[in-house]
Amino acid sequence: MTTLPSSATAAPVTRHSRNVPPFGAFNATLLGIEIKRRFRNRRTLFFTIAFPVAMFLAFGLQYRDTSIETGRTVAQGAPSVAAFIMISMAVYGAMMASTSAGGAVAIERQLGWSRQLRLTPLTPVANIAVKILGGLSIGLLAVLATFATGLAIGVRLPLHVWLVAGVTAWLGSLVFTAMGLMVGYLVPSENVMQFMGPALAFLAFFGGLFTPLDSMAKPLQDIGVWTPTYGLGEIARAPLSGDAFNWLAVGNVILWLAVFGIGAALAFRRDTKRV
């Protein structure tokens, strides 16, 4: 019997550790690519900016001199009905812009790109964060365009009202970015916007963006306070109306942001779990 030389014995297996990038592979380069993609879609960009402006002019222009408090000619420095409509349409525009993320996600699913991402260190949370920030970039343009139109037709408000209402409408659209992402991961690509368009119009109506909620029938008001548009609209218009801080509206926004955010992350995992 022969003995194998010691050099022929199996060498120990060397394991190479895989370095996972910090923040789940979230980085400025990836975010920049996402934002550029959004701005290259000129059709969506035009629609999300032009539509809320057109809605504001159609419904708000005639009320630029009407007081929100008395219904008569607005006094110097007093809030007008046009300002109320302007803020509501800015919220609606930011909603529309933010949910466009769902269409982008659906296309990625159709092309198989979302599954390819599972081969990379990119985590679901980091991927969702990139999509959300990309949606916010378009939502900001929708808010600025609507406010600029209001300023051009004569809407005059204290500076703090412009700032608080604008920032609330913009950042509050995070709720609808998460909603668009969740739908985008669940619904086939050709059906995403067919679903989102009517859904947003429905939510905007029952949430008090098109018509003040307190002017609706009591059963509709009871339904409206549970819609994701209610809380955002109430908070954005609060500086204009001078109403007391509405904790119900704040809770509404937090609740729906959590529901849609968790739903989007779970839908992303489910859609890409097989590679």
Q: What is the pLDDT of residues 25-83, one digit of tens each?
A: 677 787 788 788 777 777 777 778 888 899 999 988 888 878 776 555 655 556 788 89
Q: What is the pLDDT of residue 92?
A: 92
Q: Please state, as a whole number, how many other Cβ atoms lie within 10 Å of the Cβ of residue 8.
A: 8
pLDDT exceeds 80 at position 209: yes
Q: What is the pLDDT of residue 145?
A: 93
Q: What is the pLDDT of residue 174?
A: 87
pLDDT exceeds 90 at position 146: yes
Looking at the domain assignment, is residue 1 inside a domain? no
Cβ-based neighbours of 250, under 8 Å, separated by 6 or more: 231, 235
Enter the tokens of residue 135: 């949606």
Q: What is the mean pLDDT of residues 172-184?
A: 86
* Cα 41–chain centre separation: 17
The better pLDDT of the pair 253, 261 is held by 253
Looking at the domain assignment, is residue 20 inside a domain? no
pLDDT exceeds 90 at position 154: no
Looking at the domain assignment, is residue 3 inside a domain? no
Q: What is the pLDDT of residue 5?
A: 52
Tokens 């739903």 belong to residue: 263
What value does the mean pLDDT of the chain take? 80
Looking at the domain assignment, is residue 14 inside a domain? no
pLDDT exceeds 80 at position 153: yes
pLDDT band at 2 (very low <50, low <70, confident <90, very high): low
Q: What is the mean pLDDT of residues 183-201?
A: 78
Q: If DSSP states are collapsed to H, E and C, what string results for 146-164?
A: HHHHHHHHCCCCCHHHHHH
pLDDT band at 90 (very low <50, low <70, confident <90, very high): very high
pLDDT exceeds 60 at position 12: no
Give CB contacts under 8 A, 24+ apart, made by 163-169.
164/236, 164/238, 164/239, 165/87, 165/90, 165/236, 165/237, 165/239, 165/240, 166/90, 168/232, 168/235, 168/236, 169/87, 169/90, 169/91, 169/94, 169/143, 169/232, 169/236
Distance CA 53, CA 47 (A): 10
Distance CA 172, CA 95 (A): 9
Q: How many domains does the chain have?
A: 1
Q: Please state, as a whole number, how many other Cβ atoms lie within 10 Å of the Cβ of residue 92.
A: 29
Looking at the domain assignment, is residue 104 inside a domain? yes
Residue range of the domain that includes 220: 25-272
Looking at the domain assignment, is residue 258 inside a domain? yes
Q: What is the mean pLDDT of residues 248-253?
A: 90
4 phi-psi bin (left φ>0, alpha ψ -120 to 50, beta other): beta
Closest listed residue to residue 176, CA positions, set 147, 142, 151: 142
pLDDT band at 99 (very low <50, low <70, confident <90, very high): confident
Q: What is the pLDDT of residue 273?
A: 65
Q: What is the pLDDT of residue 192?
A: 72
User: What number of CA atoms fall less than 13 Å from residue 41's CA on the CB side?
Assistant: 19
What percent of the chain clears pLDDT 70, i.e. is strictly above it?
81
Distance CA 89, CA 161 (A): 15
Looking at the domain assignment, is residue 212 inside a domain? yes
* CA distances from residue 37 to 102, 203, 208, 225, 253 in whole angstroms, order as listed: 14, 28, 32, 35, 28
Looking at the domain assignment, is residue 15 inside a domain? no
Q: What is the pLDDT of residue 143?
A: 93
